Amino acid sequence: WAGGARLPIVMTNVNRAMAPGWNIWSEQNDSLSQRDTGWLQFYCESNQEVLDTVIQAFKIAEKVLLPVMICLDGFSLSHTYEGVDIPDQEDIDAFLPPYNPEYKLDVDDPKTFGAMMFPEWYYEMRYKMHASMMEAKEVIKEVDEEFWEKFGRKYGLIEKYKCDGAKTIIITSGTIASTAKDVIDDLQEQGENIGLIRFRVFRPFPKEEIRQALEGVERIGVIDRNISFGHEGIFFSEIKAAIYSMDNPPRAYNFIAGLGGRDVTPEDIEKMIHLTKSDDIGEVTWYGLKSDEKDEENLVCSIDNQDNN
């Protein structure tokens, strides 16, 4: 409703698993269930990024007239102490001037909101939502640049970490990216050229940025803290679609991991990297799946029988 009403809402969403069974730990299916309802979606790695993105989001939402959802991992960020730089109120006020909406509740000039819309015009309304979502990519970049000039920090649509010359790239989002960076640092010290791409913005989808970042890459491993039941990881599906028409697309592998707040450790990520570089797995792997519900020590990789042809 918020997207169709063109309301510039800014909402922080602490990603938590969906019940039943009851689980309050991190998973992304809650926010991704709203992927196609007209919300811009940001997935943050740190509390500093959450704070900065909230500030940016007000300007972005007001320019494109669409709601913005800022997503952060439950407990990993929502219940963890972290030092952040809080800008002065005067600087934020200068960055975010007062908003004067064109359409508002006004008793002296009453209007109807969310009224019946017949097929003759509903189609065009949906196109305008889509056009504004596509326009949002450039708006996000512009606002991010303005924020950098004023506050000294910027993030982009995606983050590329040590990707120069890398033939194998891990792609993920949220706090899993922080752990992956440490693993990549260690592997690069050992001579392995591995890079990382972190999604910051998922809607609008950064298709061209992903394609450019993966030029010349041979293999990618996508770690999804979410699942489209009966299919695969949600980020993985969209990445595959984005690279499909590349001249030489990389081989793509998907790792479902961390659902319900399950830890994704450095050892797990290193194993996923080595599996991505091998030919020993199918297209989709439920990483760390227990072979027996009563056997918590016997962890296995459940390999989907899909292939990469």
Q: Do domains 10-151 and 158-303 have the same CATH topology?
A: yes
Residue 124: pLDDT over 50? yes
Mean pLDDT of 208-237: 98
When pLDDT is averaged across residues 246-269 and rounded to a whole number, the result is: 97
Q: What's the confidence (pLDDT) of residue 78?
A: 94
Q: Which tens digits make up the pLDDT trace of 155-187?
A: 999 999 999 999 999 999 999 999 999 999 999
Looking at residue 309, its pLDDT comes to 39
The CATH code of domain 158-303 reads 3.40.50.920
Binned at pLDDT 50, 70 and 90, residue 298 comes out as: very low
pLDDT band at 268 (very low <50, low <70, confident <90, very high): very high
Confidence class for position 301, pLDDT limits 50, 70, 90: low
Is the pLDDT confidence value at 113 over 90? no
Mean pLDDT taken over the chain: 93
Report the pLDDT value the prediction gives residue 130, as an integer from 0 to 100: 98
Domain residue spans in the chain?
A: 10-151, 158-303
Q: Burial code of 80-118, b = ≥16 C-beta within 10 A, e = fewer?
A: eeeeeeebeeeeeeebeeeeeeeeeeeeeeeeeeeeeee
pLDDT 10s digits, 7-29: 999 999 999 999 999 999 999 99
Distance CA 87, CA 290 (A): 46
Residue 43's pLDDT is 99
Q: How many CB atoms lie within 10 A of CB 122?
A: 12
Exposed / middle / buried, residue 165 (Cβ in 10 Å: 0-12, 13-18, 19+): exposed
pTM above 0.85, yes or no: yes
**Average pLDDT score over residue span 290-306:** 56
Given CATH 3.40.50.970, say whether it is the number of domain 10-151: yes
CA distance 23 to 70: 21
Dist CA 246 CA 112 (whole Å): 47
Going by pLDDT thresholds of 50, 70 and 90, the confidence category of residue 302 is low
From 78-87, 196-205, 242-251, 287-296, the region with the lowest mean pLDDT? 287-296
Task: Give residue-wise pLDDT tens across range 148-157.
Answer: 999 999 999 9
